[in-house]
Amino acid sequence: MGKIGVGVGEDFPVDEGAQESVAGEKPCGGRREALRQRREQKRQWRRQMHAEWHAHKDAMRDRLRREFHDEKGAHHARHLALGALAVIGLAALLGHRHHDH
């Protein structure tokens, strides 16, 4: 906090040479630049991990499709069996909840 009535240069001289060297830079500019670089590295890493995850997911999906779609009849039977299990499970849950009330 400055003193009232004291102008710059009277009791607190200004070093103009130091002002000129710092005038082009922002305070903490090096630290901000380092943070920006770390953020960019993290973004690149996340993009790479995302791309790898998608590649792995697509490869797994293709492998499962090859294994399960090769047998046409078995594929439909699996869908019917899973659907039946879902209906039975839902009926059991609803029946159980009905008896609890």
Burial class (CB in 10 A: 0-12, 13-18, 19+), 37: exposed
Any residues with CB less than 8 A from the CB of 74 and at least 6 apart, and which? 68
pTM of the model as a whole: 0.39
Q: Over 80: is that where the pLDDT of 84 sits? A: yes
Tokens for 29, please give them.
């500019």
Q: Give, in order, the Cα–Cα distances in Å from 27 to each of 22, 23, 31, 38.
A: 8, 10, 9, 19
**pLDDT tens per residue across span 61-71:** 999 888 776 66
**pLDDT tens per residue across span 40-67:** 999 999 999 999 999 999 999 999 888 7
**At 98, which helix (H) or strand (E)?**
helix 72-100
Interatomic CA distance for residues 1 and 19, integer angstroms: 20
- Domain ranges for the chain, please list them: 26-70, 72-101
Q: What is the pLDDT of residue 76?
A: 74
Segment 77-101 mean pLDDT: 81
